[in-house]
Structure formats: C-alpha cells, structure tokens
Structure 1
Amino acid sequence: ALGTLVAPPVSPVLAVGAAPMVLGAMSFTSAGIAASSIAAKMMSAAAIANGGGVAAGGLVATLQSAGAAGLSVTSKILLGLTGSGVQGLS
C-alpha cells in the first residue's frame, strides 16, 4: 500500500530566499543553460514535446527568465503565497 505524502512546512520567506539558489543549481542562470545540466535536460524534453522549439511562456522559458533576471515582485508574492499554502497543509 502507498503511504500518505505529507509536505514539510515551508516558510514563505525561505521559499522566496531559496528560489535563486535552486534556479542556479539547476543551471537557470544569467549566463544561460549549461550543457548536461538539469535545465538542459528539461529544455530538451520541452523542445521534443513542442516539435523542436521551447514555447515562450512555458515552464523552461519562465525558469530561465527568472534565473537570468531574478524574480519579479509578482513572482516573489506568488512564491510566498505558495509556501504559505504548503505550510498550511502540514
């Protein structure tokens, strides 16, 4: 039988603060996406799924934009609210 998956509490401040570090670790950076990285694998899968290109506004494009330019105020608010929602579930 499968056990119940419970998300650990996530502070909104921690979620917003960790986002740039996580994006960088995945290789979504201002220098672009590094070969053989998690980001490169995601980009490849997205390109295959979209017939050869990465869709503007898609997950990979959005993560690369955030990694290159940083998170906008709106993104920080949404990430903080998401962190609050996950914390409320635990």
Structure 2
Amino acid sequence: SCVSVTAVAIAAGAGGAVVSAPFVLGAIGFTSAGIAAGSYAAGMMSTAAIANGGGVAAGSLVAILQSAGMAGLSGTATAAVASAGGTVGFLATLI
C-alpha cells in the first residue's frame, strides 16, 4: 500500500543519512585528525575565521561539523540528520 511505501522510504532515508554522515564529513575534510588542508572544510574554516576576526566561534557550523568529524555524531546531531534524511525519503515518494 501507499502508506507502507512511504514508511519504508522515510526509514531508508533516515537510516541512510545517519550511516553516510561520517563518510560525507570525511570526504569534505572534517576528519578525525582535524580539518584537512586544502579541503572544502578548510575553506569553510577560513571564511568563518575571517568573519569572526581570526577565530572560529564555538557553536558555529564549522565547529559543530569538526566536532562531529572528530568524535562522531552526538545524539542530537544523529536525530537531526535522521530527521533530514527521513524528510528526503518522504519527498522522494511524492515524485
């Protein structure tokens, strides 16, 4: 039924997003060893530092992504990523 397909799509989207998040973070330069030189993450860090007078603000997107890249996703971050993935899964059923 349509409800079953939607539920499966939401679950797949949520699960896929949580599983792939560490790989995506690493691929753009947020690694367990720090921000990779010359990466997209390094560009984000540079932009954030320039905007904040030389430092990256605690709690900023760059700081949160680096924390997730080094230590993995927190419970809150996992929930947010799963929610976003579930939304994408649901939207895919509308196409």
TM-score normalised by L of structure 1 = 0.82
Secondary structure of the corresponding residue to residue 35 of structure 1? coil
- Cα drift, residue 40 of structure 1: 0.5
Q: CA RMSD in A?
A: 1.6
1:1-90 correspondence runs (5 A): 11-90=13-92
Distance 1:61 1:72 in 2: 13
Q: Which portions of structure 1, spanning 4 or more consecutive aligned residues, are displaced by more than 3 angstroms?
A: none
Which string of whole-angstrom CA distances, capped at 9 and with x for unpartnered residues, describes residues 34-85 of structure 1?
Answer: 2111110000011111111111000000000000000112211121111112
Check whether the contact 2:13–2:87 (CA below 8 A) recurs between aligned residues: no
Aligned residues: 82
- Cα drift, residue 30 of structure 1: 1.6
Residue 3 of structure 1 corresponds to none
TM-score normalised by L of structure 2 = 0.78
Distance 2:37 2:82 in 1: 31
- Greater share of residues in strand: 2
Residue 6 of structure 2 corresponds to none
Identity %: 61
Structure 1: stretches of 5+ with no match in the other structure: 1-8
- Greater share of residues in helix: 2
